[in-house]
Amino acid sequence: MQDVGDILHNQVLLVALVACFTAQGLKLIVELVKHQKVNVRVLVETGGMPSAHSALVAALATEVGLTMGWASTEFAIAVVFAFIVMYDAAGVRQAAGKQARILNQIIDEFFNEDHHFNEDRLKELLGHTPFQVIVGSILGVTISWIAEWVY
């Protein structure tokens, strides 16, 4: 049972999670400002501003650097992991979303009123724009530095 207590006192993990949840909460505010309505679904959907994935991994890497040292192997691993996640969020998943949009359009054009397509529409908003990833990563680093000053 002590192990669970250790997890709850792991500052690196907690700061990363705070950054992730903060980014998710900010999505709700961005959605409210953008569309003048509350859409709580943005709290659990992928994509949107800012990137919660980027905030999480940027805060994680920053916290590892602050606690283990900027020259540590752990920091190097965290940075490489962060870049992979952010590249995936802005690159691979964004491209998959564009492909889904095109496929949905093809289905709409070829299978309009006369035919029924048995599958659900593909999810189009899978990834982030590079700007959303940058804002998420800045948010994560900022939260990590603030946490360092508080603790």
HSE-CB at 18 with a 13 A cutoff on CA atoms is 16
pLDDT tens per residue across span 49-76: 899 999 999 999 999 999 999 999 999 9
**Where does residue 48 fall: left (phi above 0), alpha (psi -120 to 50 degrees), or beta otherwise?**
left
pLDDT tens per residue across span 88-111: 887 766 666 667 677 767 767 776
Predicted structure pTM score: 0.78
